[in-house]
Amino acid sequence: MATLVNGSATADWPGRYFHIDQILDKPGPRTDPGFAAGAEAPFLRDQAKILVIGAGGLGCEILANLALTGFKHIHVIDMDTIDISNLNRQFLFRSKDVGKSKAIVAADFIMQRVPGVEVTPYFGKIQDKGDDYYMQFNLVICGLDSVEARRWINATLVNLVDPENPESLKPLIDGGTEGFKGQARVILPTITSCYECSLDMLNKQTAFPICTIANTPRLPEHCIEWASVLEWPRVHGDKKMDTDDPEHISWLYKTAASRAKEFNIEGVTWSLTQGVVKNIIPAIASTNAIIAAACCNEAFKIATSSAAYLNNYFMLIGTDGIYSYTFEHEKRADCPVCGGESLDFPISMEVTVEELIDMLIEKQDIQIKKPSLSTPTRQIYLQAPPQLEQATRPNLEKKVSELVPGGGEVTVTASTLPFSLSLNIIYN
């Protein structure tokens, strides 16, 4: 039996990891050349420190899998609190936990259920932590539902890499689900394709015409978009909407419901309001389980060198039967995060700065919200602070060709992303 300290088990008992040790105690046909039979278990159980980002549908599965596999030093970050709608698939939570931090509750549950595992929670945003925090981990696993958060951690881990310090390279395992579809991928920052390299693979978000949502709404989604896009700025002015703030979602829900009643439209609910403003697609528990298992399998292989890890993209499609496929996603030479080359950007001589900004927002392989533009010698348009936005606003109506010569470089930045994009302007 395990030793009890303060009422909790801290040591292992004979045979606890019997099945896992069958893999670690002897080499196999797909074993990495650096694999040391019998010597990998101490690293896995005593030294490896792993970070899980997200404690929702995927995160709950990932935390349980890691703890039962033998990882004993786990950290988890999540900024969300538990909602009653989470309980049907996020199995670490109970009714009594509604309203509490997902990270804290998940960590407590795992430590109570799996003796000897230490799970350190952080209730907050990944952006709250600096480079020193991320440097302490051997692996990072993402179970996020946000593209922006994925882009942020991807860029952060790429920026951490120091060619002269191998310990600075932190493998990133990213999992994602969308209904019956899912994907898992292994990213070795600066070595393999990063998350930003594959941005053009994302489904384009549904956009509703402004004239429809303003004048002739027909769907509950139209009413929600009206509340968030048109009514919020009118009522709240420059106050930024936080889609993770329950009070903001509540205001949107009530406003959209009132609008729907006015036009005899049914179907506006709290969950749909969240889904529209956060682009959430209903989660399927079985898809979460499969993708979490794939992510943890890769974490185990990387931590122990017991088998070749994924190179580098696994996709699952379960809409009609079950289909899975693996392939190597290639690096982009002009990737703004890991590529290093400027992106050639052909435009007409007649394109205005405002039109260029719209093109950057719409372009699938860029997708930067609220971009600010500058050149090495001048500020073209800055989204913030308000004084600079007002000072550069007249440039929106000017042609880009009046401000940037052919072959000139434009730097694009956004407050939500920790990197800048360099455009090489080419006039048609």
Q: Which residues are catalytic?
A: 211
Q: CA–CA separation, 220 vs 260, rounded Å? A: 7
Q: How far is residue 36 from each of residues 26, 47, 150, 238, measured CA to CA in Å?
A: 8, 16, 33, 59
Q: Residues 6 or more apart from 63 whose CB is under 8 A from it?
A: 52, 55, 74, 76, 92, 106, 107, 110, 119
Tell me whether the omega of the peptide bond preceding residue 395 falls within 30 degrees of 0, making it cis.
no
Q: Are strands 343-347 and 421-427 parallel, antiparallel or unpaired?
A: parallel
When computed from its CA atoms, the radius of gyration of the chain, rounded to whole angstroms, is: 24
CB 374 within 8 A of CB 404: no
Cα 396 from Cα 419, distance rounded (Å): 23
Question: Alpha carbon 252 to chain centroid distance?
Answer: 24
For 398, counting Cβ atoms within 10 Å of its Cβ (0-12 exposed, 13-18 middle, 19+ buried), the class is middle
Cα separation, 327 vs 102, in Å, equals 33
**DSSP code at position 47:** I
Is the distance from CB of 8 to CB of 19 less than 8 angstroms? no
Closest among 116, 122, 110 to 61, alpha carbons compared: 110
Contacts of 427 (CB under 8 A, 6+ apart): 346, 347, 348, 349, 401, 406
